Amino acid sequence: MKAIAIIPARGGSKGLPRKNVLPLCGKPLIAWTIESAAAAASVDQVVVSTDDPEIAEVSRRFGARVVMRPPEISGDRSPSEEALLHALEQLELTRGPLAFLQCTSPLTLPEDIDGTLALLDTADTAVTATPWHRFIWKGPLRDARPVGHDKEHRLPRQELEPRYVEVGAVYAMKIEGLQRFKRRFHGSTALHVIPPERGIEIDDETDFLIAQTLLRRRLQRAKAAQLPETVAAVVMDFDGVLTDNRVRVDEHGVESVACHRGDGWAIGALRAAGIELLVLTKESNPAVRHRCQKLGVECLVAQEKLPALGAWLASRGISPESVVYVGNDVPDVPCMLLSGCGVAPADAHEKAKAAARIVLEAPGGGGCIRELADLIFTSRRESVEAAAHHR
């Protein structure tokens, strides 16, 4: 039997006002938990319990069902169990597994939810936890005493009895148990251990900044993982990739374009890393040739891009699977599909985005090649670290 996931989310927050809908890496905070719950194999319904119309609207937009919570169980001191029991009553549910999720843990993965729920096969309740290997002391401050260790015979951290810190990301229980005991923990409790980097809980601005840093790193790694294992060449359109797709014409009819200096730095770094570079364009404007000459990048003008790309790759003995092609418009689509990884700037045509394995955050002419270079170098670092780990 699949579980229902309930996410309590009040509108009030003293530590970080409106935190449940604050933008985090491009989405409202609560959206990350909703999407993880929806992607969990063991969950078939995601419900948000809230007293706040804005949270309700955002939750519905990201696919959750909403149960509006009355004010009397929406205060600072109202326990989450009251929200859970109210939601279950409204949904007329009396049995089955329940995942109680907190949107203040945006780094929760679907596998964390599935793993915690799976423990209900042998336990009454379960919770996510992270290992704790630090020395704890309790007051008074001028005569502190150790907790869980002996200061007279101090052991290395690694030899201390294993301890775990509860992480409020996922709680699992059976609905009938919650309705009987009115609390999230009853009977036997199992721990689903998750890495410390997924254990961050947002209570204040510092927590939010830490979560943002960790989530950005995860998203960066996920994009980098879409790249070919070995990138031998980067091929790019000119207009809409190295420029913002606009052209300026003066009173003499002379055209000019605007480019991003960060892209110039990135091209130099990619070339220094031994990656072949090509600008493939239909545009014969002299500005294209001059810019490519300054960047030290070969420029190939062709009205039919796909055969031109194939011939260029064949002349250098480069496999299409090891090519990253950056395109922004419909004529680039065949080349993107031929290549090992098609990449589109943020403002690319929808058909180019559909053909891309990676859609960048930067627009054309706005540093998109710099962003791509960062992904390529991230991918190389990950490969080196993985190889070192398996030695």
* Interacting residues of 221 by C-beta distance below 8 A, sequence separation 6+: 378, 382
Give yes or no: residues 209 and 331 share one domain: no
The answer to whether residue 370 is domain-embedded is: yes
pTM here is: 0.82
Give yes or no: residues 14 and 79 share one domain: yes
Is residue 389 pLDDT above 70, yes or no? Answer: no
- For every residue of 145-189, DSSP letters joined together read EEESS-TTSPPPGGGSPPEEEEEEEEEEEEHHHHHHHSSS--S-E
At which residue do the structure tokens 């009396």 appear?
A: 94
The answer to whether residue 104 is domain-embedded is: yes
The CA–CA distances, whole Å, from 349 to 241, 282, 305, 329, 372 equal: 12, 17, 17, 5, 18
Number of H helices, E strands in the chain: 12, 19
* Interacting residues of 143 by C-beta distance below 8 A, sequence separation 6+: none
At which residue do the structure tokens 């009397």 appear?
A: 72
Number of domains in the chain: 2
pLDDT band at 387 (very low <50, low <70, confident <90, very high): low
Domain with residue 56: its CATH number is 3.90.550.10
**What's the longest Cα–Cα distance across the chain?**
87
The answer to whether residue 146 is domain-embedded is: no
Q: What confidence tens digit (pLDDT) does each residue in 165-217 have?
A: 999 999 999 999 999 999 999 999 999 999 999 999 999 999 999 999 999 99
In angstroms, rounded to a whole number, what is the distance separating the alpha carbons of residues 177 and 157? 37
The answer to whether residue 111 is domain-embedded is: yes
Give yes or no: residues 161 and 68 share one domain: yes
For 226, the 3-state DSSP assignment is coil
Give yes or no: residues 162 and 247 share one domain: no
Is residue 386 pLDDT above 60, yes or no? Answer: no
Q: Are 3 and 43 in contact (CB under 8 A)?
A: yes
* Structural domain containing residue 250: 228-389
* Interacting residues of 169 by C-beta distance below 8 A, sequence separation 6+: 101, 102, 105, 107, 108, 112, 128, 194, 198, 199, 201
53 vs 390, higher pLDDT: 53
- Burial level of 226, CB count in 10 A (0-12/13-18/19+)? middle
In angstroms, rounded to a whole number, what is the distance separating the alpha carbons of residues 347 and 349? 7
For 39, the 3-state DSSP assignment is helix
37: phi then psi, degrees, rounded to nearest 5: -65, -40
In angstroms, rounded to a whole number, what is the distance separating the alpha carbons of residues 130 and 193? 5
Give yes or no: residues 285 and 371 share one domain: yes
pLDDT for position 283: 84
The answer to whether residue 147 is domain-embedded is: no
Cα torsion at 368, 371, 300, 352 (round to 10°)?
A: -60
Domain boundary among 207, 223, 239: 223
Q: What is the mean pLDDT of the chain?
A: 93
Q: Are 84 and 8 in contact (CB under 8 A)?
A: yes
Give yes or no: residues 234 and 345 share one domain: yes
390 vs 252, higher pLDDT: 252
pLDDT for position 170: 98
Strand duo 276-281 + 97-101: pairing:
unpaired
Domain boundary among 200, 223, 246: 223
pLDDT for position 388: 56
Q: What confidence tens digit (pLDDT) does each residue in 246-289 have?
A: 878 888 887 778 889 999 999 999 999 999 999 999 988 888 99
